[in-house]
Amino acid sequence: MAVNYGSKREVVGAHYGTRDWLAQRVTAALMAVFTLVVLLQVIFSRGPIGYEKWAGIFASQPMKMLTFATILGLAYHAWVGMRDVLMDYVKPVGARLVLQFLVIVWLLGCMGWAIQVLWRV
């Protein structure tokens, strides 16, 4: 005779955490590579570092692409982290959805601003 020890639970989103964990590590690695590239350019530059040097570092198209890829990675990294924090600590569903929406709007605004700064749109 089968014994029922409680309600049957249905597990959804298998490996959901693994995907997010991996995304956090990949985007962190991208940010680390970007930091090293900028740091090396600053270390091996000659003379005082002013606006012209900084503008020169980010003037080339490959550096603009790396910078924008890093900004996209940073935005995704922030989204995964904020979504997880909000899911863990904000229990009312309505409040959590409003906060998640505000985070998305903020991150999209930051990415739009980054496009404007990088390519002077």
List binding-site positions. Answer: 77, 89
Cα separation, 77 vs 22, in Å, equals 10
- Token code pair at residue 98: 């409003």
Cα separation, 115 vs 113, in Å, equals 5
Distances (CA, A) of 11 to 7, 15, 16, 34, 96: 12, 11, 11, 38, 22
Binding-site residue set for heme: 77
Binding-site residue set for a ubiquinone: 89
25-64 burial, b for 16+ CB within 10 Å, e for fewer?
A: eebeebbeebeebbeebeeeeeeeeeeeeeeebeeeeebe
